[in-house]
Amino acid sequence: MRLEAVVLPDKRRVSVKPAAILRCPMASAIAAWIRTDVAPLAASLGSVISDLDNFDSFECRGRNRMVGGRLSEHGRANAIDIRALKLASGRSISLVDRTVSRSLRESVLHSACARFSTVLGPGSDGYHEDHIHLDLMERRNNYKICQWDVWEPLPQIAPLLPAERPDEAPPREVADKSDATKPNAAKSEAAKSDAARSDTSEPEAGDTSPPAKKRRQNRRF
């Protein structure tokens, strides 16, 4: 069947975009999941779910698009790939975005793993880093696969302190010299050494010997 929308208990419609071609049991499982688990989750955010971002549903192909691979559940219209949920507020919640609340993504993971026999997401096999795959594949003893690592959010604040100078780093004199090749750096170095004449033991960056050598060479040839 063609699943275009799921009607919520309060008669609101959640559009499946684009509409998904699914076998009836899979379409019913998606509808029940949206009505019972996902809609209340959106409500807990003070919003209403409006769309399900359908990345892929029915397609005649092998698993992970490998030619000759075992037929994917997509080929049996028994699977859907979801990237995001859209809320009536206009907000789109990507299920694989680390900046999205971790507890929210975990709630989606637990609800999906309770209903579908296969849930694959980031960290599963490298093919599901940008979407979540759900299917109702039948296996012996109702064996289920639930592989979706809900990654930790990235640190919000970058470390402010510079990295500690490693012991094997070249002496500061060398570093200063190479800095002095930039005109501004050279100027400020000069200003510094004017201000602090005690520091004259260090060779000046503006040493004239290399250009002099060059001139001599020019004369010779």
Quote the least distance from Cβ 49 to Zn ion, whole Å: 21
Decide if residue 133 touches Zn ion (CB under 5 A).
Answer: yes
Decide if residue 53 touches Zn ion (CB under 5 A).
Answer: no
Residue nearest to Zn ion (CB): 133
Q: CB within 8 A of 150, min separation 6: which ones?
A: 102, 105, 106, 109, 121, 122
Q: Which is nearer to Zn ion, 42 or 96 (CB)?
A: 96
Q: Which is nearer to Zn ion, 62 or 190 (CB)?
A: 62
Phi/psi at 112 (nearest 5 deg)? Answer: -70, -40
- Give CA–CA dist 164/13, Å, rounded: 56
Quote the least distance from Cβ 81 to Zn ion, whole Å: 4
Q: Which is nearer to Zn ion, 42 or 118 (CB)?
A: 118
Quote the least distance from Cβ 116 to Zn ion, whole Å: 11
Q: What is the CA radius of gyration of the chain?
A: 31
Total interface residues for Zn ion by CB under 5 A: 2
Phi/psi at 111 (nearest 5 deg)? Answer: -70, -40
| Interactions with Zn ion, residue window 67-126 (CB under 5 A) | 81
**HSE-CB for 42 with a 13 A CA cutoff:** 26
Contacts with Zn ion, residue ranges (CB under 5 A): 81, 133
